[in-house]
Amino acid sequence: MPIPTLPQDDAFPTIRKQLLAHRRDERRYDYSSPVGVACLAELQLTDKPGPDYLLKIAESNGAVSHHHVGQRVVSYRDSQPATPVQVGLYAAMSAVEAARSFWDATTTAAANTARRPASSLDDYADFTEGLEPIPLARRLRERPSERDALFGWQRLGGPNPFALSRLRDDRLPDHFPVREEHFRRALSALCPDGSPGDSLSRALSEGRLFLSDCAALDGVATTQNQGRQKYTAAAMGLFLRPLDRSSALLPVAIQCGQAPSSATPLFTPADGWRWRLAQCFLSLGEGSIHEAAEHLGLTHLLVEAFAVAARRNLASAHPLTALLEPHFEHTHFINYTARHSLIADGGTLDQLMPQPIAATRALVASALSNFDVGAGDPRSRLRALGLLDADALPECPYREDALPHWDSLLQWVGDYLRVYYRDDAAISADAELQSFVAELSAQDGGRLRGVPEVRSVDALTSLVTLVIFTASVQHAAVNFPQYPFMGYVPGIPAGLYAPPPTLATPDAEASLLAALPESDLTVLQAYTVYQLSAIRLKPLGGYAPFADPRVSDPLAAMRSRLSSLESAIGDREASRPLPYPYLLPSLVPASIII
């Protein structure tokens, strides 16, 4: 491979421009689904993954098929088995055919599952036995008294690291009327001694209260699945960092709606099964927002826009192409599968989620249109939510693990770029780079908001670090916790089938079971998130050899930092109530491959 060159230094500029024009012709934008979001119009032959990736797809489909065949839960025994996957089949497929067949085993298993209600919550834990252990389900079974503490931890160590915001103005939202009596009832149920000395006013003044707000779902319509009505709620949840720090966070109150009324009363941990049903509605709302906004919108399709713009504007000989291509690998392919199956009309999320699939796609588009690229780094996002301060929130595994990744990548990218850009003037003189940056925010380009002007090496370093971090670390943080939390369906149900609780709701397990998905949708949810969490290939830092020997020392330094981070995260794992291995460098894929 030739050593990369900047366009202003290329000895053959005419040939370079001709080759770049061909790259632009191959890569065109499509804004049709989700509406207004920049995506690649058509997969190219080069977008089809290689044999190693296709084998992983086949293996995950095979695991699903074999688990369904051998399912031991009584209520599933009269189901028809899914057809076992032929591993070699994918090799003969086109990129589009392979993408469309990705979920075959999961959808077949769900379609061939006899629909039955669960007889107890244990049924949901039993279902995934033999597939892959779920630490949450096992911990709940072994230590049921920790249920609320684990519910709080889920907001810190679960799929959405940005689900919470810290209350910092000594008051709650007016439409969330938690009072001292609610607070006392909650603490009486949560703490054996009632946490003497604590109060709502004290917790507010000390900044120990955190809010989960699903306002994005307010007014969203719901649909049916095979004649069964689905429900959702724009729920709000209040969480406390207790005085004694016996738990990282404890849930204090939940309101299943944005406007307090008899239909949306406040519930606390003292409210038995009604409380647990309210917890499911809060988790459902957070999960809907996570899947559409944080996961699909702000990782998959954010990187999609960068990848299309980069491949249209940066020549194959450009130094940024050599740096970024490993972080774009398989992204167009997996995004195509998402757009044409997961979020398609009648697709997986249309079946699972309570809102119409058009509303899910609208959440995706809204997340991207409101995302500020210039303030998209994890430190800025955590600061905006009040989650950056370790004194205010001592335990935050995403913050603890993701920020060292960001700092390491920032150093690596800066070291790499300075090999090629002698000074800031070289940045301005790079016509391909300037065209790439301009297209990111253009209406006929990436349509991203807040793309900063790039006239210095530092500015380019920050922008490129955001791309690499999002494609690797951020995607790992929002993708790989899905099966450990959503594979146990009551943990984060994708849909619920009874209205939110009121004071008239019977205080009985039957009320919760009536709301949870039946067997066919349990199969669809658990297998979907299993497949979403099952594929890992090239880890972060696992670059193929660079052609330019000047890159060797910066790359070696970066890999050394990753090794140290691996050890540091491993040490932190010992004190966490549930595993948070998702950002171990060895487990973080370099690109969005799933």
pLDDT bracket for residue 49 (50, 70, 90): confident
Q: pLDDT digits over 512-559, tens only?
A: 999 999 999 999 999 999 999 988 999 999 999 999 999 999 999 999
- Is the pLDDT confidence value at 412 over 70? yes
pLDDT reported for residue 76: 45
Cis peptide before 554 (omega within 30 of 0): no
DSSP annotation of 36: E
The helix (H) or strand (E) run that includes residue 250 is strand 250-255
CA distance 55 to 577: 34
pLDDT of residue 428: 98
453-470 burial: b if 16+ Cβ within 10 Å, else e: ebeebebbbbbbbbbbbb
In this prediction, residues 116-135 reach a mean pLDDT of: 93
Residue whose token pair is 């009596």: 181
Confidence of residue 168 (pLDDT cuts 50, 70, 90): confident
Per residue in 195-252, pLDDT (tens digit) is 788 999 999 999 999 999 999 999 999 999 989 999 999 999 999 999 988 889 999 9
Check whether 97 has a pLDDT greater than 80.
no
Please tell me the predicted confidence (pLDDT) of residue 92. 62
pTM for the structure as a whole: 0.96
Averaged pLDDT, 321-347: 94
The pLDDT of residue 205 is 96
pLDDT at res. 83: 45
Angle at which helix 302-313 crosses helix 319-328, to 10 degrees, equals 150
Give the Cβ contact number of residue 33 at 10 Å: 18
Look at residue 32 in the predicted model and tell me its pLDDT: 97
End-to-end Cα distance, the chain: 29
Whether the per-residue pLDDT at 88 is higher than 70: the answer is no
Cα 283 from Cα 232, distance rounded (Å) = 10
CA–CA gap between residue 315 and residue 24 (Å, rounded) = 10
CB-based burial, 21-31: b 16+ in 10 Å, e otherwise: eebeeebebee
Where in 436-483 does DSSP place strands (E)? none
Q: Of 60, 62, 55, 66, nearest to 88 (Cα)?
A: 55
- Segment 181-189 mean pLDDT: 96
Query: 551 near 320, Cβ under 8 Å?
Result: no
Find the length of the chain. 594
With bands split at pLDDT 50, 70 and 90, how would you rate the model's confidence at 99? low
Distance set, CA 41 to CA 290, 335, 577 (Å): 25, 11, 44
pLDDT higher at 48 or 296: 296
In the block, which residue shows the tokens 């149920």? 189
The pLDDT of residue 576 is above 50:
yes
What's the whole-number mean pLDDT along residues 115-123? 93
Evaluate whether 13 touches 7 at the Cβ level (below 8 Å): yes
Residue 82 has pLDDT above 50, yes or no: no
Token digits of residue 44: 């190219």
Q: Which tens digit of pLDDT belongs to each residue from 482-493?
A: 999 999 999 999
SS (H, E, C) 210-248: EEEECHHHCCCCCCEECCEECECCCCEEEEECCCCCCCC
pLDDT for 324: 98
Q: What angle do CA 99, 103, 108 make, to 5 degrees?
A: 140
- Cα separation, 337 vs 342, whole angstroms: 7
Query: Are 421 and 460 spatial neighbours (Cβ–Cβ below 8 Å)?
Result: yes
Q: What would the 3-class secondary structure string for 507-537 be?
A: CCHHHHHHHCCCHHHHHHHHHHHHHHCCCCC
- Our CA angle for 199, 183, 175, nearest 5°, is 110
